[in-house]
Each structure stands twice: as C-alpha cells, then as structure tokens.
Chains A and B, each alone.
Chain A
Amino acid sequence: MPSYSRTTIRLALVYLGLGFTLGALMLANEGLGWDVRLAGLLPAHIALLLYGWLGQLIYGVAFWILPRINGRRGSAPLAITAAVLLNLGVMLLGLSSLASIRGATAPMGTACLAASAFVFAVHAWPRLRAAAGR
C-alpha cells in the first residue's frame, strides 16, 4: 500500500471515529433529551462520514489499486491536492454546524469538495484509460 493511501485511509479512519461519535451523541440525545442543540451537529456528522470517511477512503483505495501507467500511479501532486482540498472542505463543512459561522463556511466547504473531486478525477482519468487497453 503506497504512502498516499496509508495517509488518506488513516485520516478516513479518524473521520470515521469522529463521525460515529457525533452520530452516537445525537442518537443518545434523541432518546434521552439531553440538549436540543446537539441536533445541530447533523451537518458535521454527514460531512465527516460522507466525505471525510467514505470519500477519502475511496481516494486512498483508488490510488492504491487503479492500473499504473509505466509502473507509476499517475500524478502524485494531483492526488495530494485532491486530498488536501477534501480535508479542507470537510473541516469547513464540519465547522458550519456551529451556527455562528454557518454563513461563510458551508459554501466554501462545498466548493473545496467540488474542486477536490475534479482534481482527483483528473488524476484518475489517465489511469482508467490505461485500463481500457488491457
């Protein structure tokens, strides 16, 4: 497993832990009625698990197992840029659960995620084309 995949998959596991923790807090709160404000963590719960965990795990595994071109795994700088943008987007979206800064961070977060997806697609495209000839 290459170092890029190790880093992104470990980060994905960290987000899985955080996302499960927020989810458990919200579910327990739903049953026990601790504090209505905990329900406001839903956007962070979704961002952590959907993008931080699932998206980043997919980046890591795709970088690892997609076909190589001349023995190389495509452009590493593109893959790294995609991961940086994804993590920035997840953090900004996570912060948007805090009502006081919601207005600014949510659009910036989703823009980072969109840019991340585009950059990762540019990284993966030649590797997928290489697979067509096999």
Chain B
Amino acid sequence: MPRITRVYLKTSLIYLAAGLLLGTLRVLPIARLEVALSGSAAVYYHLLVVGWITQLIFGVAQWMFPKTSRERHHGSHRLAWITYALLNVGLLIRAIAEPRALSAAGGVWGPMLAISSLIQWTAGMIFIVDIWPRVRGR
C-alpha cells in the first residue's frame, strides 16, 4: 500500500470520528450547545461525505487502480498529494467558516466560504485528471 493511501485512509478515519462526534454533540439536549452548533448541519454531512467517504475512495483508488507505465517506473504520486492537501485545506476552511458565515452576515467568513469552495473544486478536478488514465485494462 503506497504512503499516499495510508495517509488518505488515516485522515479519513479522523474525519469519521470528528463527524460522528459533531453529530453526537448536535443532538445533545444542552441549550448552549444547540445554539453554538446551530449552523453546523452542512459541516456535519460534509465531514462524513467528503472527509471520510470521498477521501477513503481517493486513497484506495491510488492503491488499486492499474498503474501507468510512468508510475510503475517512478512511483510518483505528486498530483495525489496536491489533491490531498487541497481537499483537506478546503474542507477545514469550510468547517470553520460556514457556521460563522451563517450566524453573522457580512465580514470575512462569506468570502472564506467561496475560497473553500474553489479549493475543494480544484482538488476534485485534479483527482479526475490524475486518475483518469489509470481507468484502463492492465
């Protein structure tokens, strides 16, 4: 299993735990928590769907999809590392900015959401470009 896959899988497990923790906190009958986490529904879903499931798939794909001759010879995962970095930076910015943007209009958090969306979108596109040639027969 290549290192990029191990890092993807370990990170995805951290997001699984974080997502489930947030999900638990969201349903606890504690008034202060309910107020504090009122804008966190989308973050909860995306920690699980992007942070856990998508990242798990991205990592396993790097491991099990047939390698191109270039990868066989050089073992490079440069684009995969860029995807990993962008996906996680974008998701973390979203997790921080979205509840704040929803609770107070204006300020820096709205533009931060737009930046987060651009970063995550770029990660998705790089993954597609990187993995496309590997969807092939052996």
Contacts and interface: CB of A to CB of B under 8 A. Distances in A.
B57 A57 contact: yes
B101 interface: yes
Interface of A: 1-3, 5-6, 9-10, 13, 16-17, 20-21, 23-25, 27-28, 30-33, 49, 54, 57
B118 A13 contact: no
B110 A33 contact: yes
A6 B135 contact: yes
B52 interface: no
Interface of B: 49, 53, 57, 65-66, 94, 97-98, 101-102, 109-114, 116-118, 120-121, 124-125, 127-128, 131-132, 135-138
B125 A28 contact: no
B128 A17 contact: yes
Contacts of A17: 124-125, 128
29 contacts: A1-B66, A1-B136, A1-B137, A6-B135, A6-B137, A9-B135, A13-B128, A13-B132, A17-B125, A20-B120, A23-B117, A23-B121, A24-B118, A24-B121, A25-B117, A27-B114, A27-B120, A28-B114, A28-B117, A30-B101, A30-B110, A30-B113, A31-B110, A31-B111, A31-B112, A31-B114, A32-B114, A33-B110, A54-B53
Nearest to B109: A31
Nearest to A2: B137
Contacts, number: 71
A31 B33 CA distance: 24
Contacts of B120: 20, 23-24, 27
Contact of A20 (B124, B131, B136): B124
B121 to A, nearest CB: 4
Contacts of B109: 31
Nearest to A3: B137
Contact of A32 (B65, B110, B132): B110
Contacts of A31: 97, 101, 109-114, 117
A20 B112 contact: no
Given A17-B124, A17-B128, A32-B111, A27 B116 contact: yes
Contacts of B137: 1-3, 6
A13 B136 contact: no
Given A1-B137, A13-B131, A31-B114, 16 more contacts: A2-B137, A5-B135, A6-B135, A6-B136, A9-B135, A10-B135, A20-B121, A23-B121, A24-B118, A24-B120, A25-B117, A27-B117, A28-B118, A31-B112, A32-B113, A33-B110
